Amino acid sequence: MIDTAASPAATRVASGRPTSVRTSRPRRPRKFKQVGITAGLTAGGLLMVVPLIWVALSALKRPDEILRVPVTWLPDDFFNYDNYVQLFAEHDFGRYTANSFIVTGIGILSSLVIALFAAYAFAYYEFRFKEPVFLLVLALFMVPQEALVIPMFLMISEAGLTNTYLGMAFPDLFTVLGVYLLRQFMEGIPYSYVEAARMDGASELRVLVRVIMPMVAPAIVVFVIIKFMFTWNTFLWPLLVAQDESMYTVTVGLVNFAGSEFNQWNLINAATMISMIPTIILFITLQRYLVKGVALSGMK
CB atoms within 10 A of CB 175: 23
Report whether pLDDT(13) > 50. Answer: no
**Span 91-115, mean pLDDT?**
91
C-alpha closest to that of 117 among 213, 198, 201, 228: 213
Cα gap 269→80, rounded to integer Å: 13
Q: What DSSP string runs through 56-92?
A: HHHTTS-HHHHT-SS--SS-S-TT--HHHHHHHHHS-
Q: Nearest-CA neighbor of 219 among 293, 292, 288?
A: 293
Question: Average pLDDT for residues 206-212, to the nearest whole number?
Answer: 89
**Strand, helix or coil at 107?**
helix
Confidence of residue 126 (pLDDT cuts 50, 70, 90): confident
pLDDT (0 to 100) of residue 98: 93
The answer to whether the pTM exceeds 0.95 is no
Percent pLDDT > 90 in the chain is 15
pLDDT tens by residue, 145-168: 788 888 899 999 998 888 899 999
Q: Which architecture, in CATH terms, is 83-297?
A: Orthogonal Bundle (1.10)
* CATH code 1.10.3720.10 region(s) in the chain: 83-297
Q: Is the pLDDT of residue 61 over 90?
A: no
**Minimum mean pLDDT among 25-29, 104-108, 203-207, 235-239: which range?**
25-29
| Confidence (pLDDT) at 261 | 54
